[in-house]
Amino acid sequence: MTSSGLRVRDLTVVYRTDDGDVHAVDRASFDVGPGERLGIVGESGSGKTTTALALIQMLRPPGRVTGGTATIGDVDLLRLAPAEMRRHRLQTASYVPQGAMNSLNPVLTIGRQFRNALADHGVRLPEDELRARVHAALESVELDPRVAGLYPHELSGGMKQRVCIAIGMLLGPRLIIADEPTSALDVVTQRQVMETLGRQQQVTGAALILIGHDMGLMAQFVDRLAVMYAGRIVEIGTIREVLETPRHPYSRALVASVPRLAQRGELHGIAGVTPSLRRLPEGCAFHPRCVDAIDRCRRERPALDRAPGEHRAACLLAADAARESVA
């Protein structure tokens, strides 16, 4: 990986509660190379958004990062002081939120919000150059420059999301984190937003993390996929590996839950519910819902079984099968 990629090692996020510490993210490790797209999927509460917010130091108390590194080049995002982190947001790493409807300031025009973002990072330009830069940013996401004079309530949901993408790309970051950027949008607008995000990433060559629930969307957009469950990454590999030969039972269940034209009228859910992070079961956290669980799964907590960059799974049965195939 070149210096412009993201390298995360043992990221740990803890929430302090009256009942003790809750590990919302437990030693997550992954890489995203320049120009690469990594998807992170999992049910609500699995740690996806917490991972994203931790990388750009936007966690709110009582959440805090208690361990790990997240480096882009020689910059460890987790070690930056708050003032330094503010300078690196938008420039080194940008965050496209899932709630575009609530992410823009309702009392400022779109153009003013672009200008504020530039001013906050020390960009001082003559008025005509500043206006040209804002208009170019809007045109880059296929919005009319006249949008700069409008307020957020005058835009559709898809237009607001594209404005958020344009703001996120304004200073050419090396990492883009898109947190469910198509939530609450119709399918046509979803496609337009994802095409916009993809074009912007190609222009800059940035690493991109896409967070979401939609396996179909991931299949069309990302290069590699990480599956999270109960705060841990339980499988990671290329999108083809995870979709065609999932090694963790939870990944298999997620893939099986995707509706298919050949099986119209058939829906496959995942039995049970996600466990409370305050009271995780012993052994593998997924074993109460796993149809393949054996006694070892109830006692032993599996770890990802291979070095970074390969198809890995945190499953005792998958590890046994891998050893048998080699023997």
Q: Which residue has the higher pLDDT, 326 or 243?
A: 243
From the list 233, 243, 246, the residue with the least C-alpha distance to 308 is 233
Cα–Cα dist 289/79, whole Å: 38
Cα–Cα dist 251/51, whole Å: 19
Please tell me the predicted confidence (pLDDT) of residue 309: 58
In DSSP terms, which residues pair with 227 in a beta bridge?
A: 41, 235
Q: Can you tell me which residue has the tokens 């034209």?
A: 261
Please tell me the predicted confidence (pLDDT) of residue 321: 78
Please tell me the predicted confidence (pLDDT) of residue 286: 95
Strand pairing report for 37-41 and 63-72 = unpaired
Residue 188: band (very low, low, confident or very high) from pLDDT cuts 50, 70, 90: confident
Specify the pTM: 0.92
Residue 74: band (very low, low, confident or very high) from pLDDT cuts 50, 70, 90: very high
Residue 118 above 90 pLDDT? yes
Residue 234 above 80 pLDDT? yes
**Under 8 Å between Cβ of 29 and 11:** yes
Read off the pLDDT of residues 265-278 as tens digits, 9 standing for 90 and up: 666 678 778 888 98
Mean pLDDT over residues 46-62, rounded?
Answer: 94
**Under 8 Å between Cβ of 23 and 14:** yes
Cα-based torsion angle of the residue sequence 191, 104, 209, 16 in order, rounded to the nearest 10 degrees: -140
Average per-residue pLDDT for the chain? 90
Read off the pLDDT of residues 101-111 as tens digits, 9 standing for 90 and up: 678 999 999 99
**Under 8 Å between Cβ of 52 and 211:** yes
Please tell me the predicted confidence (pLDDT) of residue 220: 92
From the list 225, 218, 113, the residue with the least C-alpha distance to 168 is 113
Report the first-to-last Cα separation within the chain, whole angstroms: 32
Cα–Cα dist 314/125, whole Å: 51
Residue 198 above 60 pLDDT? yes
Of the CA atoms within 13 Å of residue 285, those in its CB half-sphere come to: 21
Cα–Cα dist 243/320, whole Å: 20
CB atoms within 10 A of CB 276: 12
Residue 63 above 90 pLDDT? yes
Q: Which range (27-36, 59-68, 194-203, 256-265) has the least confidence? A: 256-265
Read off the pLDDT of residues 290-327 as tens digits, 9 standing for 90 and up: 989 999 999 999 998 865 558 999 999 888 777 766 55
Q: Which range (84-88, 177-181, 317-321) has the least confidence? A: 317-321
From the list 135, 117, 137, 133, the residue with the least C-alpha distance to 125 is 133
Please tell me the predicted confidence (pLDDT) of residue 87: 92
Cα–Cα dist 65/51, whole Å: 10
Cα–Cα dist 157/163, whole Å: 10
Mean pLDDT over residues 63-71, rounded?
Answer: 96
Count of residues making up the chain: 327
Query: How many H-runs (helices) and E-runs (strands) does the chain carry?
Result: 12, 11
Q: Can you tell me which residue has the tokens 């043992």?
A: 10
Q: Residue-wise over 222-250: b if at least 16 C-beta within 10 A, else e?
A: bebbbbbbbbbbbbbbebebbbeebbbbb
**Under 8 Å between Cβ of 121 and 171:** yes
Q: For the domain covering 6-326, report its CATH number.
A: 3.40.50.300
Q: Can you tell me which residue has the tokens 């109460």?
A: 288
